[in-house]
Amino acid sequence: MYTPNEKRYDDMKYLRCGRSGILLPRISLGLWHNFGSVDRFGNMLDMIHTAFDAGITHFDLANNYGPVYGSAEENFGRIMEQDMRPFRDEMIISTKAGYDMWPGPYGDHGSRKYLIASLDQSLKRMKLDYVDIFYHHRPDPDTPLEETMEALSDIVRSGKALYAGISNYDSEQTRKAAEILRANHTPLLINQVSYSMMNRWTEEDGLQDTCAEVGAGVICFSPLAQGVLTDRYLNGIPEDSRAKKNHFLQESSITPELIDKVRQLNTLASDRGQTLAEMALAWVLRRDKVTSVLIGASRPEQITDNVKLLDNMEFSDDELTLIDDILKG
Ligand SMILES: NC(=O)c1ccc[n+]([C@@H]2O[C@H](COP(=O)([O-])OP(=O)(O)OC[C@H]3O[C@@H](n4cnc5c(N)ncnc54)[C@H](OP(=O)(O)O)[C@@H]3O)[C@@H](O)[C@H]2O)c1
């Protein structure tokens, strides 16, 4: 029987998500990889316990996380049944629909039909009555935004989700989505977007300021560039790494030139008394424009390492310039 760490809320920091009543942990855990039917259940259980013990209250899923599609939600449901159910009210659980999920014209994109059916399926798989956040996973240019946002509002009103989120929406799309939701009396809680030292499109787009303007929070995925911004690939490509196991991170993208930059970043991190993973996460959180970093992990130790970022989140101007120069060089 799992007994959580009694001190779990002592060291984690929490930040208000936009203009909502919700505080999110600065680090949240995503279940995109390593929670599928191909993965080991005991390891998943350990990772959820390790995260919760460290004050990570937010767990992020999507309908098609696996592989196979749906299996991360099924495994999470098994974990809820096994020993996390007593802590449901201490958890913020999210899921999404917007990418390919089931065959035919109704299992993808942004229709009301897809979103409502998908959330019903997700709740069954996760053995939950409701999720805390339900996201539209990506913009759909072929469905009127009004239809997608009204579906999110109706889902919130039905009680199957407590808050509405969008993911991968740029500034212009975010403004429009927030406006439609507001007209439907449903505030936009959050936008989930990619952001890391190596991926700065949200800065160029001004998205973080846009979210602040519309009162929404920002949660950033792949802050470690799927593991590249860690020491994982400094000595070759390990057999058990994402680059070996999964097509979302191509082995061919990990070039000697890239590793040379990562090595320089690693030296800077160790000068700061951190691991590179900790420094890369601290960089994403360095300004309070980002509510939470959404990490992935393949083992509990990575989670334990990553939460240590909270010990050193400050960067001098010189360090920030050096990071930029290394990555440009
Ligand atoms: N909304 C969207 O469209 C979208 C898209 C992508 C992701 N997401 C969400 O964001 C979450 C995180 O994305 P991500 O998994 O790409 O994030 P990430 O944190 O950039 O990458 C996670 C990977 O980095 C490695 N890692 C983590 N901590 C480490 C450490 N301390 N030392 C060494 N290596 C470490 C592990 O790789 P190994 O597996 O090789 O050990 C781990 O699987 C997902 O689970 C999902 O919830 C959302």
Structural domain includes residue 5: no
Minimum CA distance residue for ligand 1 atom 47: 30
Structural domain includes residue 7: no
Residue 287 has pLDDT above 90, yes or no: no
Structural domain includes residue 131: yes
Task: Using the mean position of ligand 1's atoms as its centre, give its distance from the Cα of residue 224 in Å.
Answer: 6
Residue 246 has pLDDT above 90, yes or no: no
Residue 188, C-beta contacts closer than 8 angstroms, at least 6 positions apart? 18, 164, 165, 166, 174, 177, 178, 181, 182, 214, 215, 216
Structural domain includes residue 215: yes
| Ligand 1 nearest-atom number relative to CA 248 | 16
Average pLDDT rounded to a whole number, residues 290-309: 98
Calculate what percentage of the chain has a pLDDT beyond 90: 98
Structural domain includes residue 273: yes
- Tell me, what CATH number does 208's domain have? 3.20.20.100
pTM, entire model: 0.98
| Ligand 1 nearest-atom number relative to CA 33 | 45
Whole domain around residue 79: which residue ranges?
14-328
Structural domain includes residue 166: yes
| Confidence bin at 286 (pLDDT 50/70/90) | very high
Domain total for the chain? 1
d(CA 114, CA 125): 16
Minimum CA distance residue for ligand 1 atom 48: 221
C-alpha atoms less than 13 angstroms from C-alpha of 300 in its C-beta half-sphere: 15
| Ligand 1 nearest-atom number relative to CA 192 | 1
> For 72-129, what is each residue's pLDDT tens digit?
999 999 999 999 999 999 999 999 999 999 999 999 999 999 999 999 999 999 999 9
Question: Which residue bears the tokens 């599609």?
Answer: 69
Structural domain includes residue 203: yes
Task: Using the mean position of ligand 1's atoms as its centre, give its distance from the Cα of residue 160 in Å.
Answer: 27
Average pLDDT rounded to a whole number, residues 57-78: 98
Minimum CA distance residue for ligand 1 atom 17: 222
Q: Is the CB of 278 under 6 A from ligand 1?
A: no
Structural domain includes residue 8: no
